[in-house]
Amino acid sequence: MKYTKEAIAEAWKILEQYRGKNIAAAVNHVSRSGMSRRIEFYAIHDDDISRIGYLIARVTGYGYDVDKGGIRADGCGMDMRFSILSNFNYSAYRHDLTEKGYDTEKPMHLPEACALMDKPQGYRIYDDYFFNANHIRDI
């Protein structure tokens, strides 16, 4: 799905308040073939839970439909919740590098990119850059 630059910028602005928060996910639907699922994501903060799947979809370009249960993830053989958050972490890293003036056409793991983000060389962006993709709570 294609979103406008304004919609993506708005999503980043909202998501920033949830950086580093615990994430929960609900797999709301699995296709009969098992090759597709609909997943909704929630940020857990203080004593509140906020639905953020639509924001993640805007930033990453995933298809989203609230009536059908959230972000559409195609494929099987892996944890698709991890896959979506991992892809989101890459998007967040690229976004933050761009905000700091780094040319993201160059590889994001170069020493100067890592130094700019105060990350060690070889840092595993997909694990926990914005959200911890390894610790997703089930709803």
Domain segments of the chain as ranges: 5-129
pLDDT(1) > 80: no
**49 has a pLDDT exceeding 90:** yes
The DSSP result for 60-126, as a single string, is HT--EEGGGTEEEEE--SS-HHHHHHHHHHHHHHHHHHHHTT--TTS-TTSHHHHHHTT--TT--HH
Range 83-92 average pLDDT = 96
From CA 6, how far away is CA 12, in angstroms rounded? 10
pLDDT bucket at 77, cuts 50 / 70 / 90: confident
pLDDT band at 5; cut points 50, 70, 90: very high
Evaluate whether 137 touches 24 at the Cβ level (below 8 Å): yes
Average pLDDT of the chain is 93
Determine the pLDDT at residue 55: 98
Contact 37, 81 (CB under 8 A): no
- In the numeric block, which tokens belong to residue 99? 């905000």
Please give the model's pTM, rounded to 2 decimal places.
0.92
